[in-house]
């Protein structure tokens, strides 16, 4: 998927700090990728937690329990 009609709007909300990420602003690709890796996308984490690059489900749960 090269074109995303919502890319500009999505970028306003994307807090991913992984710079070479080809999925930035392409939420459907991002979610599919992280689901396959048993992870959560950056937008599920606070800015501070996202910077750890620990996108594991376990890390997400630990932050919310």
pTM: 0.84
CA separation for the pair 39, 2 (Å, rounded): 23
Range of the domain at 40: 7-63
Tell me, yes or no, whether 42 lies in a domain: yes
State the total domains in the chain: 1
Residue 56: exposure state from Cβ atoms within 10 A (0-12, 13-18, ≥19)? middle
Tell me, yes or no, whether 2 lies in a domain: no
Q: How does pLDDT run across 17-64, given as a tens digit for each residue?
A: 999 999 999 999 999 999 999 999 999 999 999 999 999 999 999 999
Q: Which residues of 28-42 are buried (b: 16+ CB within 10 A; e: fewer)?
A: eebeeebeeeebbbb
CA separation for the pair 61, 20 (Å, rounded): 27
């Amino acid at each position: 998927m090269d074109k995303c009609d919502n890319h500009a709007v999505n970028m306003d909300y994307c807090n991913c700090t992984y710079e070479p990420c080809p999925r930035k602003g392409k939420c459907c690709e991002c979610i599919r990728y992280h689901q396959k890796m048993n992870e959560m996308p950056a937008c599920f984490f606070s800015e501070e937690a996202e910077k750890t690059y620990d996108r594991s489900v376990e890390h997400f749960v630990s932050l919310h329990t």
